[in-house]
Amino acid sequence: MRLALVKRLLVGAPMPLAQARHERLGKAVALAVFASDPLSSVAYATEEILLVLILAGSVALSYSLPVALGIAALLAIVVTSYRQTVAAYPQGGGAYLVAKDNIGVFPALTAAAALLVDYVLTVAVSVAAGIAALTSAVPALLPYRVVLAVLSVAGIALGNLRGVRESGRMFAAPTYFFVASILGMVGYGLVAALFGWLPAAPYEPHPPGLEGIGLFLILRAYAAGCTALTGVEAVSNGVQALKPPEGRNAQAIMTWLGVISITMFLGITYLAYDFGIVPGGHETVVSKIARRVFGSGAPYYAVQTATMLILLLAANTSYAGFPLLSSILSRDRFVPRQFANQGDRLVFSNGILILSGFAILLIVGFGGDTHALLPLYAIGVFISFTLSQGGMVRRWLRLREKGWRWRVWVNGVGAVVTGIVLLTLTVTKFTEGAWIVVLVIPLLVAAFLLMHRHYEDVAAALSLEGFEGPPPFQHTVLVLIGDVHRGVVRAVQYAKTLAPTATVRGVFVETDPAHTARLEEKWSKWGLGVPLVVLTSPYRSLLRPFLDYLDQIQARGDDQMVTVVLPEFLPRHWWQHVLHNQTALLIKGALLFRKNTVVADVPYLLKRHP
Amino acid sequence: MRLALVKRLLVGAPMPLAQARHERLGKAVALAVFASDPLSSVAYATEEILLVLILAGSVALSYSLPVALGIAALLAIVVTSYRQTVAAYPQGGGAYLVAKDNIGVFPALTAAAALLVDYVLTVAVSVAAGIAALTSAVPALLPYRVVLAVLSVAGIALGNLRGVRESGRMFAAPTYFFVASILGMVGYGLVAALFGWLPAAPYEPHPPGLEGIGLFLILRAYAAGCTALTGVEAVSNGVQALKPPEGRNAQAIMTWLGVISITMFLGITYLAYDFGIVPGGHETVVSKIARRVFGSGAPYYAVQTATMLILLLAANTSYAGFPLLSSILSRDRFVPRQFANQGDRLVFSNGILILSGFAILLIVGFGGDTHALLPLYAIGVFISFTLSQGGMVRRWLRLREKGWRWRVWVNGVGAVVTGIVLLTLTVTKFTEGAWIVVLVIPLLVAAFLLMHRHYEDVAAALSLEGFEGPPPFQHTVLVLIGDVHRGVVRAVQYAKTLAPTATVRGVFVETDPAHTARLEEKWSKWGLGVPLVVLTSPYRSLLRPFLDYLDQIQARGDDQMVTVVLPEFLPRHWWQHVLHNQTALLIKGALLFRKNTVVADVPYLLKRHP
C-alpha cells in the first residue's frame, strides 16, 4: 500500500485507456519533441569535426567548411528520403517495420538492434553533452559531471513514466528557446563580425600538426561530423504519436527539421572558422563561440542554458522511441513479453526503465565524456538509415505506385550514400569504440532469434490443436505442520474441503523426537479427523524428508497431483513477517518448479489478544 | 539442484543428529579452541599500553611494568572467579544464563547484548591484528590489509559452516605453535639479554612527551591493557561443547589459560621495556621484539606466522559462541526464530553468517586498523564479567551451599574489581569509540524486548486454549486466465476438483476488447463447463479490476474464502522463467498478505514439440 502511494506521487494517477487518443501530439509540440534530438546534435557535431582536423594543426581547421557543406548535403538527402518513408508509413515507419515489410526478418532485426543501441546512446551522449554545456559555463561543476549526468537521466525517466503529453509539453519551450538562441547567436555573430563590433580574439595556443592533411583525415572529419545526422530518424519511428493526418504532419515536421538543422550547423561551423576557434580543453566549441559573441553577459548564459536544456531533453526522443520499438518487438515475440505491457499511465514502463539503466551504465563507464561516447553513436544510426531506405526502394519496386521511378531514385540515392558513409564510419572509428557496436548488434540479433524460437516452441506446446483434454488425476492433499495452533486448524479445515477426506493428511517432520508425543496428542484433539504422518529427519533438515515423501507419492505415476497446504499467519505489521513464515518460504522455493505439485498458503489473521 | 551441489562442496555432506555427541571436544583440543582468543590478545595488549604511555614521552614507557602487573593481577582475579562459574554451570554458564538465573531478565539481556557485540568485535579485532602481524613481516602487503582481512573472515566462516570438530582440529596446532614460539622468544630473549648475546639496539627516534605523567594517563594505559582480558569468558560460554565431566574439564582449562596468558603477557611487556621498544609505525611491538631477539632469520618469521595464525583463529572463539548464544536467545524468544535452526552440518548457520557480516562491516569501516577498533572492544567484555560475577554472588547468597562464604568472596571481589574497571574503561575510552558500544547495547536490549513481546502476542493469539474450532466458510475458486491453452485447461480441471462446480469461475481481465470474443469462443469449447467472468479494465491494469472483484466477493462476509488458481507453465530451462509467468508473480505479490485468500499455482510441464 505504501509503495503504491509512492508510485502515485512520483508518476501520477493512472489514466483510462480512452485517454490514449487524446495523448496524441499536435504539430508544434511534436516538432519540439522529435526535433530536440536531431537539432541538439549541432551542439557537438562541429566540435567533432574540428577535433579531427586539429590533428593536422590549426591550419587544417579551415577544411571544416567543405566538410560541413558535405554533411549538410547528406542531411538534405536523408531528410528528403525520409519524407517519403513517413508518408508511406503513417502507422509509424521505423527502420524495423520498413525493413521487415520489404526486405526480410533478418535485416529488420539488424535495424531493430541498431535502433535500440542508438536509443541508449542518444540518452548517454545527449546527457553527457548537456552537462558539458553546463560545465563549460560553470567549470566548478566539472568534477561532478558523472553524478549530474546520472541524476539527469533519472529525472528524464521519471518525467516519461508520467506519460506522453506531459513530457511533450515539458519539452516544447526549451526546444524553441534553443533554436532562437542559436540562430540569434549566429545571426548577431555574423553581423558583429562583419562590422567589427567584436573585441579582439583572446590568445589561444594553436597546437602544431601531428598528422598531414590527407584524404583519410578528411574522411575521418566527415565521419565525425556525421553525428549531426543522429536523431533524424526519430520522426519516422514516432509518426503514430502525431495527430492525424499523421503522414502529412510528419512530412512537414521532417522538412522544418532539415531546414533548421542545416542552418544552425552551417552557422556554427562558419563562426568557429571565422573566429579561429581551437577545439579542446574543458570548454565546448559552442561555448567558445558564444563567449566571443556575447562576452560573459546574460546572452552567453542564455545560449549555454538553452544548449544544456535541449541536450538533456533530446534524450527524451529515445524515451518515445525505445519503449515503442521494444513493445513492437515484443508483440512480434522477439523480446520478453514484459515490454508489451503499458503501465498505469499508458506508457511502456519496462522499456523506460531498461533504457535508463543502460544509459547510466554507459555514462558511468565512459566517465561522462561526450567525445569518448560519440564513436559508438553514428554506426547504428547509419545502419538503420541504410536498411530503412533500402527497404523503401524495394517497396517502390514492388508496389509500382504513381511516381515510383522518382521515388526509387530518391530513396536509392539515400540508401547508397548512407551505405557508403556507414562503411567510412566503421573503418575510421573502429578502434575508437565503434567495435563495441559492431559486436553488440549481432549479439542482440542472435538473442532476438533465440527468444523468438522459444516463444514459438511454447506456443506450439500449449496449443489446443489436437488436444484431447487433460488426463484425469489422483489428488492428495498434504498439510505441512510444525506445531498445532489456531492457524493450523484453519488450514486443516481448508484442506478437508479440497478433496475427499481419505486423501488428506497432516505431515510433521520430526527434528526433535522429544516433542512428537505432545504434538500427536494435540493433533488427536484438533486434527479434525485427518490422519497425521510423522517423518523422521536424521539430518534435522525439514525439507529433505518432506521432498522424499512427495517423491514417494508421485512415483506412483504421472497422474499423482499433490497439493501442499501451508498454514501461514498474517502478523499485524508487515515488518513482523521477517520474524515468521520463513519455513513456508523455504518450502515454496523448493517446490516452485516441481511438476504436478500445487502449493497453497492458507493465511490466518492474528487477532489482537484480548 | 546446482546450488545444493555448491553448498555440498563448500560445507560438506549433512551429518545425522546422532553424531552431535561425538562432536564434543577433548581437553587438549578444547584448550586450543577456547584459548586462542584470550591468549592471542597478548599480541596487542602490551602495544596498547605503550601507545598510551608514549604520549608522555619515551621515559614514561617504564611505567608499563607496574601497569602490566596490575593487569596480570586482574586477570588472575577474573580467572579464579570464572573457575567457580564454569563449575556451577556445566551446561554452559555464559553471562546471559548466569545473570538470567540469578539477577533478572533485564541484566541478562544486557549481558547478552554485550556478548553479541563482543563476539563481533573479537572477529574484527583478531583478524585485523593477525593481518597486522603479517604486514609487519611483509610490509609490501600493507595496502591490501582490508582485502586480506575480509578474505580471512570469509575463510573462517566457511570452516565453521563445516562443523564443530573439524574446526576444533584445525585450530589445535596453531595455538600450541603460538604458545611455544612466544614462550621460546621470551625465554631466549631474557637469557640472551642477560648474557649480552644480542646485537646493539638499532636507533629508534624517541618522540618527545606531549602530556605529563599523571594518574589519568596511567589509568588510560591500564584501561588500554585490559584488552589482554578479552576472551577469558569464552570457556564459560562453551562448557557445553566439552566432553564430560564438563565442569571439571572447564576448570582445568581456565587454570591453564590464566597461567599461560599471564606468563606470555608479562614476558612480552618486560622485553619491550628491557629493549626500549617504541610503539608506532607500521610494525607491531611483538614484531619489533622478535626482530631484536632473532634478527630476520627463520625464528622471527616463525613468531610472526604463529601470531598471525592464532589471531586469525582466535576469531573462531566467536564462531563457537555467537551462534550458540543467539540460538539460546532464540529459544527464549528474544531474537528471530531462524537463529534456533541448526543447519545440515549441526551448526547454527544463520548465526555464523550474521557474525561474519557484521565483522566484515567493522573491518571495512575502520580500515582494518586494530588500534582504532580496540576502544570498542573491552567495554562489552567487562559488562559481561561484572554481570556474570554479580550473578554468581547472588547465587551463592541464595543457595548457601557448602563453602558459600568463600565463594561469595571470590566472585564478589571479581564483580567489584571488574565493575570499577568497566567504569574506568567507559570514561577513558568514551570519545575514542566506546560511545558506539554504549549506544548499541541498549538498542539491542530494546530490540530483544520488542521481539519477545511480539512472539508472546502471537503465541497467545494462536493458542488453542478456549478455541471453539474454526467457523465454517464459503469457498469460491477463481481461475485467473489471460488466454486459453493446455496449461489453462489443466488449471480449470484442477479447480473443478477443489469445490462444488457452482462456485468455480474463470476470470479474464479484458485489456483489449478486440480479443475478448475470440477468447470467449475458445473458453466455451475448453472451459469444462465452468462459467467465465470478463472484467473490463479502463486503466489497462490487470491487477486492479481483479482485486476489485475479489473485494466484491469477500465483502459478503468474513466467511468468504477465495482460492485463486493461477495456471503456470514450467519451461524446460530455468532461465526461460524470466520470459514467462511474470503476471503470476505480480498477482501472488499483491495477494500475499490478504486474509481469507489462498493462491494456488497449477504447473503445466511443457513437453517438447513433436
- Which ipTM did the prediction report? 0.70
Q: B608 and A498 in contact by Cβ < 8 A?
A: no
Average pLDDT over residues A311-322: 83
Residue A203 has pLDDT above 80, yes or no: no
Q: Say what percent of chain A tops pLDDT 70.
A: 89
Do residues B369 and B128 make contact, with C-beta atoms less than 8 angstroms apart?
A: yes
Instruction: Give the C-alpha separation, B70 to A389, whole Å.
Output: 91
Amino acid in position A65: L
Helix (H) or strand (E) holding B524: helix B516-526
Residue A168 C-alpha, separation from nearest chain B C-alpha, in angstroms: 21
Instruction: Give the span between the Cα atoms of B174 and B156, in whole angstroms.
Output: 14
Of A364, A352, A359, nearest to A377 (Cα)? A359
Give the pLDDT score at A1: 41
Residues in Cβ contact with A547 at an 8 Å cutoff, skipping those fewer than 6 apart: A590
Verify whether the Cβ–Cβ distance B489 to A467 is below 8 Å: yes
pLDDT > 90 fraction of chain B, expressed in percent and rounded: 34
CA angle B304, B306, B309 (to 5 degrees): 105
Instruction: Indicate the Cα dihedral angle A136, A141, A142, A146, nearest 10°.
Output: -120
Within 8 A of B458 by CB-CB distance, chain A residues are 569, 571, 580, 606
Size of interface A-B (CB pairs under 8 A): 181
CA distance A408 to A240: 24
- Contact flag A576-B460 (C-beta cutoff 8 Å): no
The C-alpha of A553 sits at a distance from chain B's nearest C-alpha, in angstroms, of 17
**How distant is the Cα of B6 from the closest Cα of chain A, in angstroms?**
16
Using CB atoms, pick whichever of B16, B490, B537 lies closest to residue A539. Answer: B16
- CB-CB under 8 Å, B475 with A538: no
How do residues A57-76 score in pLDDT, each as one tens digit? Answer: 888 888 999 999 999 999 99
Overall average pLDDT of the A404-422 stretch = 90
- Min Cα–Cα distance to chain A from B270, Å: 52
CB A11 within 8 A of CB A161: yes
Question: Which residues are bridge partners to B605 per DSSP?
Answer: B570
Say how many C-beta atoms besides its own lie within 10 A of residue A496's C-beta.
17
Cis ω for the linkage preceding B279 (within 30 of 0) = no
Helix (H, G, I), strand (E, B) or coil at A18: helix
pLDDT tens track for A87-120: 888 777 688 888 898 999 999 999 999 999 999 9
CA dist., res. A255 & res. A250, Å (int): 9
Q: Which residues of A touch B498 (CB under 8 A)?
A: 497-499
Distance of alpha carbon B303 from alpha carbon B145, whole angstroms: 19
pLDDT exceeds cutoff 60 at A485:
yes
Q: Tell me how far apart the alpha carbons of residues B314 and B122 are, in angstroms, rounded to a whole number.
A: 8
Q: Which residues of B touch A579 (CB under 8 A)?
A: 336-337, 451, 454-455
CA distance B418 to B226: 10
Q: Taking every pair of C-alpha atoms in chain B, what is the biggest distance, in angstroms?
A: 106
CA A469/CA A481 separation, integer angstroms: 35
Q: What does the H/E/C string look like for A37-75?
A: HHHHCHHHHHHHHHHHHHHHCHHHHHHHHHHHHHHHHHH
Which 3-state string (H, E, C) describes B407-459?
HHHHHHHHHHHHHHHHHHHHHHHHHHHHHHHHHHHHHHHHHHHHHHHHHHHHH
Would you say residue A17 has pLDDT above 50?
no
Shortest CA gap B4–chain A (Å): 11
Interface test with B, best of A464, A558, A568, A597 (most B CBs within 10 A): A464
Instruction: Say whether pLDDT at A506 is over 90.
Output: yes
Whether pLDDT at A285 is above 90: yes
CB-CB under 8 Å, A470 with B489: yes
Which triple of cell numbers denotes residue A327? 513493445
Answer yes or no: is pLDDT of A229 > 50. yes
Distances in Å between the Cα of B222 and the Cα atoms of A275, A326, B435 are 76, 70, 19
Exposed/middle/buried for residue A176 (C-beta within 10 Å: 0-12, 13-18, 19+)? middle
Please report, for residues A169, A178, A389, B54, B603, the alpha-carbon distance to residue A114 in angstroms, rounded to integers and kept in the order given.
29, 28, 15, 68, 38
Taking an 8 Å cut-off on Cβ atoms, the answer to whether A486 and B462 are in contact is: yes
Yes or no, beta carbons of A470 and B461 under 8 Å apart: no
**pLDDT band at A562, cuts 50/70/90?**
very high
What is the H or E stretch that residue A566 is in? strand A560-570
The nearest alpha carbon in chain A to B489 belongs to A470
- How many CB atoms are located within 10 Å of the residue A148 CB? 20
Nearest CB neighbour to A571, from listed B458, B475, B540? B458
Please report how many Cα atoms fall inside a 13 Å half-sphere around the Cα of residue A498, on the Cβ side: 32
> What is the SS3 assignment for A568?
strand
- Strand (E) or helix (H) holding A507: strand A504-510
Q: What's the CA gap between A48 and A67, in Å, rounded?
A: 11
Cβ neighbours of B605 in A, within 8 Å: 595
Which of B341, B456, B457, B458 should we substitute to test contact with A (largest number of A Cβ atoms within 10 Å)?
Answer: B458
Cβ–Cβ of A470/B493 closer than 8 Å? yes
Position A568 scores a pLDDT of 84
- Say whether pLDDT at B582 is over 80: no
Mark yes or no for CB contact B600/A600 under 8 Å: yes
Residue among A460, A522, A606 minimizing CB distance to B458: A606
Please give the single-letter amino acid code of residue A492.
V
Per CB-CB distance under 8 Å, the chain B contacts of A329 are none
- Provide the 3-class DSSP secondary structure of residue A532: strand
- Give yes or no for residue B610 having a pLDDT over 60: no
Return d(Cα B421, Cα B67) in angstroms, integer: 13
* The pLDDT value given to residue B1: 41
Among the partner-chain residues A602, A606, A607, the one whose CB lies closest to the CB of B598 is A602
Preferred mutation among A331, A353, A458 to probe B, highest tally of B CBs within 10 A: A458
Burial class (CB in 10 A: 0-12, 13-18, 19+), A541: middle
Q: B582: nearest CA in chain A?
A: A338
Encode pLDDT of B121-155 as tens digits: 999 999 999 999 999 999 999 888 999 999 999 98
Under 8 Å between Cβ of A495 and A579: no
Chain B residues close to A603, C-beta within 8 Å: 593-598
In this complex, the residue of B457, B485, B539 whose CB is nearest that of residue A16 is B539
Contact B464 A17 (CB under 8 A): no
Query: What are the strands of the beta sheet with A504-510, ordered from one edge?
Result: A532-536, A504-510, A474-481, A560-570, A597-605, B597-605, B560-570, B474-481, B504-510, B532-536
Under 8 Å between Cβ of A36 and A171: yes
Averaged over A567-595, what is the pLDDT? 76
How confident is the model over B159-169, as pLDDT tens digits? 888 765 555 66
Please give the DSSP secondary-structure letter assigned to residue A575. G
| Res A18: pLDDT | 45
Report the residue of chain B nearest A488, measured CA to CA.
B462
For residue B232, give the C-alpha cell: 577469558
Test A494 with B598 for CB contact under 8 angstroms.
yes
- Using the predicted structure, report yes or no on whether residue A36 has a pLDDT greater than 70: yes
Question: Comparing A52-66, B192-206, B262-276, which segment has the lowest mean pLDDT?
Answer: B192-206
Strands B504-510 and B474-481 turn out to be parallel
Distance CA A30, CA A242 (A): 7
CB contact under 8 A, A582 and B338: yes
CA closest to A490 among chain B residues:
B470
pLDDT in tens, A373-388: 988 888 888 999 999 9
Residue of A15, A344, A453, A462 to mutate for B, most B C-beta atoms under 10 A: A462
To the nearest whole Å, the CA of B47 is away from the closest chain A CA by 42
Angle at B531 between CA B525 and CA B536, to 5 degrees: 105
At residue A333, φ and ψ (nearest 5 deg) are 65, 35
